[in-house]
Amino acid sequence: MSVTTSTIGLADPADLEPSLLYERTYATRRRPTYIDAAVLLSLMFVLLAVIPAREVLPGATDVGRPALVIGFLLFLWWAVTRFSPGLVMVGPQPIRWAFFGYFGVLLLGYAVGFLRGLTSMEANAADRTMIYFCCFGGALLTAADGLPNWLKLRTLLKVLVVSATFVALFGVVEYLLGRDLSNYLLIPGLQEKGWVPVLEDRGSGVRVASTTSHYIEMAAYLALVLPFAIHFAIFARVPKRRWMAIASCIIIGAGIASTISRTGIISEVIMFVALVPLWTWRMRYNIGVVLTIMISGAAAATGGLVHTLLHLFDNPTGNSSISVRYERYPMAFHYIGQRPWLGRGTGTWVSPQYQIMDNMWLEILLNNGIVGAIAYAALHITAITVAWMALRRSKEREVRHLCAALISTQFMGLIVAATFDSLAFLTFATTLGLTVGMCGTVWRLTHPQRMVRTSATRSFAGRVS
């Protein structure tokens, strides 16, 4: 009897393949665990979503958010596994090399900055940046190497969608009430630090940030998660869960609209370009009907919002929020020209005190030069490549669609970096790091070699008889 998805419930047939631990010693990758990579990553991204971004541990900087502390510990956990033969995840992983290529450039830039000579403010910013990219690496590496099977990957994605739905729903309520409600989510014992986003008028509506630190960040973060909500709306096996996923899609879409952000619209366009080719005509029709109903309902309820969204891209040369970005470019390229290859030093362009670029590519060039920009682009290009390889390998529509959703997030990361300083906003940046890691996960789980596809930690070897 051949094993099919229907005979094993939510498990993928490949999840039942035994993992070779030692010679003639095997274990199942579906062994029950209470605390593993998927659980810790799920906890991390729930905290990232539900606790306002300005809430940090007492005495810490913005990287002292509870979720980011977990990310830093995950980075240390991953590093420890590399030195323990009983814990290490065996097998190759291209994402691992791409990340450490970029991280190595950051370390080189860190040294370059101190060799140049830094002010106290710049030195603190450099330290903060390196600590954050350890948190970024914690999410990325744990996802790439720590998720043992498709069931764990799907579970983590469901948690990510639910968390984003909360952020979106909270933002929509703020928009409808015209009030900042984030004070109701403050946690006793944590300290408020940083800018508190207030409701900002734009056109006929107000912009909201929910639990994130900025309106644009909220739009970009929700856009990163929307492809996975659509994925579950299409492929959920239980009708009740399918309708819940459809509701999440609608709420997340409404949350993006409530930010009144060009970045959110651009991200959604990127998502549709990546996903539509994999949809059947029936799917395209159904999603088109849902979009039409949403736009019509929004027009009837808040016509001013729809009018504002439709005119965000009108007359770009006369739009102050776009033209002010162009006016900063000559100054940016002046400083880039002084240190073109390695930049001024990792994290040393302190945006609020110097000049906010609203363009992550310019900030990377300022901090880490051309070498840093190439390394960052290579990280996303590697993720796109391995996810594309996984898509080509798989014959299952669900897996192919998930790979396309992951590819869309990487194109978002590359493109929206030109619309705002994306890596400075930690909810978005950390979620982006997770999606990079999950590109490595699908590459590993679809690998033709069983030793790579079923790779698992050997920490349970002593329990296998």
Tens of pLDDT, residue by residue over 27-36, are 676 666 667 8
pLDDT band at residue 391 under the 50/70/90 scheme = very high
- State the Cα–Cα distance between residues 160 and 239, nearest whole angstrom: 20
pLDDT mean over 278-300: 82
pLDDT band at residue 400 under the 50/70/90 scheme = very high
Place of tokens 């990280």: 379
pLDDT cut 70: percent of the chain above it:
85
The packing angle between helices 120-146 and 66-81, to 10°, is 60
How many residues does this entry show for the chain?
465
What is the overall mean pLDDT for the chain? 87
- State the Cα–Cα distance between residues 420 and 360, nearest whole angstrom: 6
In sequence order, the β-bridge partners of residue 414 are none
Structure-block tokens of residue 137: 């690496």
Q: Quote the pLDDT of residue 157.
A: 98
pLDDT mean over 307-325: 64
CB 189 within 8 A of CB 55: no
What digits encode the pLDDT tens for the residues 122-143? 999 999 999 999 999 999 999 9
If we measure between CA atoms, which residue out of 225, 199, 204 comes closest to residue 214?
199
Structure-block tokens of residue 259: 């930010």
Structure-block tokens of residue 433: 């790091």
What digits encode the pLDDT tens for the residues 208-248? 999 999 999 999 999 999 999 999 999 998 999 999 999 99
Structure-block tokens of residue 141: 């590496």
pLDDT band at residue 4 under the 50/70/90 scheme = very low
What digits encode the pLDDT tens for the residues 167-206? 999 999 999 898 999 999 999 999 998 877 878 776 657 8
| Model pTM score | 0.92
pLDDT band at residue 92 under the 50/70/90 scheme = confident
Q: Quote the pLDDT of residue 462.
A: 38
CB crowding 389-425: b at 16 or more within 10 Å, else e: bbbebbeeebbbbbbbbbbbbbbbbbbbbebbbbbbb
pLDDT band at residue 115 under the 50/70/90 scheme = very high
CA distances 86 to 41, 147, 335, 441, Å, are 22, 17, 49, 21
Q: Quote the pLDDT of residue 294.
A: 75
Q: Quick one: 327 exposed, middle or buried, by C-beta within 10 A (0-12, 13-18, 19+)?
A: exposed
Q: Is the pLDDT higher at 69 or at 297? A: 69
pLDDT band at residue 305 under the 50/70/90 scheme = low
